Structure 1
Amino acid sequence: MTRWPHVSLWLGCLALTGCGDEPGRQPNAVATRTSPAPTPAPTATEAAQESIMRPSVVETPTPTPPPAPEPVNATVLFDSNDAALTDAARASLDEVLGRIAAMAGPVTIRGHTDSRGNDEANKRMSEKRAEAVRDYLVEHGVAAARVTTIGLGEDRPVAPNATLQGKDDEAGRQRNRRVHIVAEPAEAAVPAAQPSDGQK
């Protein structure tokens, strides 16, 4: 008589154990959550396509233009009372002929004398010296249309013609017996008839 209460209790526990189970589900089964698959890393092509820098907006460096050529400045010296080119004068012209031709712009030739003689004679001598230099340049390939000659006589010395004692300064006179040449780049305008060798 004492076993029945225990049997009844055991049967009741069995009944309670299966009451909440769903059909097809095993009792006491533990539910699991499936994790999403990892995202693959982008390929190199995909990464390049996603770049914010498009080829159409990439700045390219601007090339630096070459510096503009400097004008040619040359001086040719002459013997006293003479408009003929000396060997030294021809050598000086030969040194700058290539640069003058490369300029392709206007060429201005200014003739000068020392102070010996009268003004009119010196003016004419300075013109002859400028013309002698022009002829040499033209003979060696410089277009005559580019060249302008100017005779300034004794008005623009670059050195003293006499010493403080009133004697002739032959070294100074030699420097004043000259022709000054200026050859400009192609875009330069034809200069006015003004001296350009530092004299005013």
Structure 2
Amino acid sequence: MEQLHQLADDLRETFDERGYRIGVATGQDPSFRNSRRSQASLTRDLALDAIREGCGRLGLHCRSGSGGSLEVVTLVGDTYRHHRVLKATFDKASEAYVIVCRGDNALLAADDASVYPAESWVFAYTIGDDGMLDEIFVAKVQGVTDGAMRQLILGPVTLLGSAGTMPPSGFRPADEADLGLDDDEENEGGVGGAV
């Protein structure tokens, strides 16, 4: 799972460094702003490019599928996890992530030649109101809903990346008394008295 956290950090870093170019590109012509399709397409292209680069750097296996799809393959224990890269939305009413299936190719088929069992997962990202990357997560795919607008049924979601989960950097003594400073002995310069 650590490599997937690092991959999410790579994706976020790419958007921090190059994501502004999406706005620059869509700003070149008013027709690019009539709908969010141009922006969504550029966002997807940037995300897939960053994931391919990150997989190469981290030694993760990724493979392309039909329709320009991409999946990241990891081996956990004796099971291959096929993480399909997909865009998700967050439904505030149900407080759940939603991934709409488009046709039968929503998930790549696992390699039948493998001696290990395979599971379908998603490596998904959401886009904020500003059109930029918001959240990144993985979840096991447990099925697909019925009906005209089919959606993936997801297992528990694990948010990825170190943003907000890293402890503050810098030295922190276990006890402030270890610093050798005493508030009662401060001199005019604000430094503790020396013995």
More strand per residue: 1 or 2? 2
Whether these two folds match at TM > 0.5 is: no
TM-score by length of 1: 0.28
TM-score by length of 2: 0.29
Q: Which has the larger radius of gyration?
A: 1
